[in-house]
Amino acid sequence: MFLAYEALADLPMKQATVTTPLATMQAPTVDGSAVVFVSILRAGNGMLDGMLEALPTARAGHIGLYRDPQTHRPVEYYCKLPQDTALCNIIVVDPMLATGHSAIAAISKLKVLKPPAIKFICLLAAPEGITTFSAAHPDVPIITASIDQKLNEHCYIVPGLGDAGDRLYGTK
């Protein structure tokens, strides 16, 4: 949820009526109807509730990708987005940016829509993933809580957290 605040900080604001215990007032708020959080399945769903808690009026979309174990390249198996996603600021969520290939694939798919802005949020990133992602999408900011040391020979982040999807859902 804290990363959501960082991602939302520079989005356009609108005036909304807020009722406090003492008075009613106009206050600037982020227009949640103009934001779509896109979760990269399945691990991104572990972050999605926190994003929606920070901005409850936002909507959610999903892009299903898995990493081919031999090539370490993403394979898409699902995509479902709100109808007017092209008109919204898109914030893509995935817990880890390892090689960067899944994030690149998701962002490339979303850029076809020509939305006003796209951002990428992750909990952990590897330097190699940041370099690869930034070369492919230099206009898309990465918001992360931590940059770890490196990728190992299996393209996992070190020290990392292991496979986020497996940890979230108890699979192996």
Report the SS3 class of residue 148: coil
| 166 included as an active-site residue | yes
Spatial separation of the C-alpha atoms in residues 75 and 31, rounded to whole Å: 33
Choosing from 17, 71, 139, 171, which is the catalytic residue? 71
Question: 48 with 37: CB under 8 angstroms?
Answer: yes
CB atoms within 10 A of CB 43: 23
For the chain, the residue count is 172
| 42 included as an active-site residue | no
| Helix residue spans in 19-61 (DSSP H) | 45-54
Spatial separation of the C-alpha atoms in residues 115 and 67, rounded to whole Å: 26
Choosing from 67, 73, 85, 139, which is the catalytic residue? 67
For residue 122 the two structure tokens come to 């992750």
| 10 included as an active-site residue | no
| 71 included as an active-site residue | yes
Choosing from 73, 131, 166, 167, which is the catalytic residue? 166
Active site residues per annotation: 67, 71, 163, 166
